């Protein structure tokens, strides 16, 4: 049994978690997530403020995760930290803290790719979320569709050509006067919106291929965003129209994402789809994906909201895999870029 202390500071969540893993399965003993709310004022994450907030929080958050788990630092066998991608200053806080701990205690340290972390998150909530599967990571910073035949082997099936899906939610949220982050607010508004009132374009619904590679499944959000800008300009009473605009936008995103996922399943023949990233919190998207996949005999595996958004539990789980894979402790810088990711 390996006790892992996971640390995550890549964006605007300071998080620490303790995970206990053996040959089969892993048990989450604690997970503390401190979300920085300072960014709401600026309607987006301000990197320097994020770094400063991490600096203040990382020590107490790590101590709290250990205390919640009833584990002493001495009993930790492995420290896992997000090494990238993310905001450089924010990452630096977590990596420096982790290195300090590793040097002071003599414990091994492993650097984790943030997106590999998201792939490993879902299995903490749902033991069936094991490869082979199609992985869909949709967050504020990333949109990735991956074929995952086995842990550590990742084939890129498609990504966004412009905005990440969560970023589009955030920008449209701001446009509709809904504050930051936009995703949860848009979902709330959309729930009472009329689906027939606005029909927005579905960018690259059947497109997104790249020259010479007809199976590429790229996404694009920019045309949809423009359509929203134009719609908002033409509206007299934004407050009255807001739920309907939110519904029209969300439905367009859901259609595009669902279509891409169905294509990915058709191309790869994988029986499962594993979802990760903050946008995975969206219940309407989850319901649409689950039903479309169910109709084709495939299953959707989505994490709880706590594990969808950035957290250290997923980093600890991916770190456990990486350390076992390497057969020895590996250095924080050694694992980038995305280990095993290739476009075959």
Chain residues in the site for ligand KG4 (CB under 6 A): 11, 139-141, 166-167, 169-170, 181-184, 187, 277-279, 281-282, 309-310
Please, what's the largest Cα pairwise distance for the chain? 64
**Residue 167 or 218: which CB sits closer to ligand KG4?**
167
> How near is the Cβ of 147 to ligand KG4 at its closest, in Å?
21
> How near is the Cβ of 104 to ligand KG4 at its closest, in Å?
29
CA–CA gap between residue 312 and residue 12 (Å, rounded)? 12
317 phi/psi in degrees, rounded to 5 = -65, -45
**Could you say which of ligand KG4, Zn ion, none residue 184 binds, taking C-beta under 5 to 8 angstroms by partner kind?**
ligand KG4
**Could you say which of ligand KG4, Zn ion, none residue 309 binds, taking C-beta under 5 to 8 angstroms by partner kind?**
ligand KG4
Instruction: Map residue 306 onto helix, strand or coil.
Output: helix
Contact 243, 192 (CB under 8 A): yes
Does 12 bind Zn ion (CB under 5 A)? Our answer is no
DSSP structure class, residue 229:
H
How far apart are the two ends of the chain, measured CA to CA in Å?
36
> How near is the Cβ of 104 to Zn ion at its closest, in Å?
28
Give the pairing of strands 341-342 and 153-159.
parallel
**Could you say which of Zn ion, ligand KG4, none residue 187 binds, taking C-beta under 5 to 8 angstroms by partner kind?**
ligand KG4
**Residue 147 or 170: which CB sits closer to ligand KG4?**
170
Contact 89, 264 (CB under 8 A): no
Say how far residue 131 (Cα) sits from the centre of its chain.
18
> How near is the Cβ of 304 to ligand KG4 at its closest, in Å?
12
Q: Looking up tokens 């995760």, which residue turns up?
A: 65
**Could you say which of ligand KG4, Zn ion, none residue 84 binds, taking C-beta under 5 to 8 angstroms by partner kind?**
none
**Could you say which of ligand KG4, Zn ion, none residue 182 binds, taking C-beta under 5 to 8 angstroms by partner kind?**
ligand KG4
Q: Which of 310, 313, 322, 332 binds Zn ion (CB under 5 A)?
A: 310
Handedness of CA 149, 155, 160, 166 (dihedral sign): positive
> How near is the Cβ of 202 to ligand KG4 at its closest, in Å?
17
Q: Could you give the dihedral angle defined by the CA atoms of residues 221, 273, 319 and 158, in that order, rounded to the nearest 10 degrees? A: -40
Which among 12-20, 53-61, 136-144, 225-233 is the span making contact with Zn ion, rule CB under 5 A? Answer: 136-144
How much helix, strand and coil, in percent to the nearest 5, is found in the chain? 45, 20, 30
CA–CA gap between residue 172 and residue 178 (Å, rounded)? 8
Q: Which of 20, 139, 282, 308 binds Zn ion (CB under 5 A)?
A: 139
**Could you say which of ligand KG4, Zn ion, none residue 282 binds, taking C-beta under 5 to 8 angstroms by partner kind?**
ligand KG4
**Residue 102 or 138: which CB sits closer to Zn ion?**
138
> How near is the Cβ of 269 to ligand KG4 at its closest, in Å?
28
**Residue 228 or 313: which CB sits closer to Zn ion?**
313
SS3 annotation, 101-136:
HHHHHCCCEEEEEHHHHHHHHHHHHCCCCCCCEEEE
Residues in the site for Zn ion, rule: CB under 5 A? 139, 310
């Amino acid at each position: 049994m390996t006790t892992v202390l996971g640390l995550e500071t890549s964006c605007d969540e300071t998080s620490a978690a303790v995970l206990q893993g053996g040959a089969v399965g892993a048990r989450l003993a604690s997970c503390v997530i401190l979300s920085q709310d300072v960014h709401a004022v600026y309607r987006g994450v301000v990197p320097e403020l994020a770094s400063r907030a991490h600096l203040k929080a990382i020590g107490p958050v790590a101590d709290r995760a250990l205390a919640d788990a009833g584990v002493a630092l001495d009993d930790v066998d492995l420290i896992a930290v997000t090494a990238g991608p993310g905001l450089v200053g924010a990452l630096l806080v977590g990596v420096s803290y982790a290195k300090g701990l590793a040097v002071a205690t003599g414990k091994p340290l492993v650097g984790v790719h943030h997106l590999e972390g998201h792939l490993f998150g879902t299995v903490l909530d749902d033991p069936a979320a094991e490869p082979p599967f199609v992985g869909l990571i949709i967050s504020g910073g990333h949109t990735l569709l991956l074929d995952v035949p086995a842990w550590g082997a990742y084939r890129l099936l498609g990504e966004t050509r412009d905005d990440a899906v969560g970023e589009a939610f955030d920008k449209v949220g701001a446009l509709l006067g809904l504050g930051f982050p936009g995703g949860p607010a848009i979902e709330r508004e959309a729930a009472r919106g009329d689906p027939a009132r606005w029909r927005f374009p579905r960018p690259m619904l059947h497109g997104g291929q790249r020259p010479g590679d007809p199976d590429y499944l790229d996404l694009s959000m920019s045309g949809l965003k423009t359509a929203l800008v134009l719609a908002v300009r033409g509206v007299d009473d934004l407050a009255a129209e807001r739920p309907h605009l939110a519904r029209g936008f969300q439905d367009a995103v859901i259609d595009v994402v669902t279509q891409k996922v169905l294509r990915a399943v058709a191309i790869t023949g994988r029986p499962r789809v594993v979802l990760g990233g903050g946008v995975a919190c969206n219940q309407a998207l989850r319901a649409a994906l689950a039903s479309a996949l169910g109709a084709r005999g495939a299953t959707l595996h989505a994490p709880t909201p706590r594990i969808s958004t950035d957290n250290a539990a997923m980093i600890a789980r991916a770190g456990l895999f990486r350390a076992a894979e390497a057969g020895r402790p590996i250095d924080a810088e050694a694992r980038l870029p995305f280990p095993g990711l290739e476009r075959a």
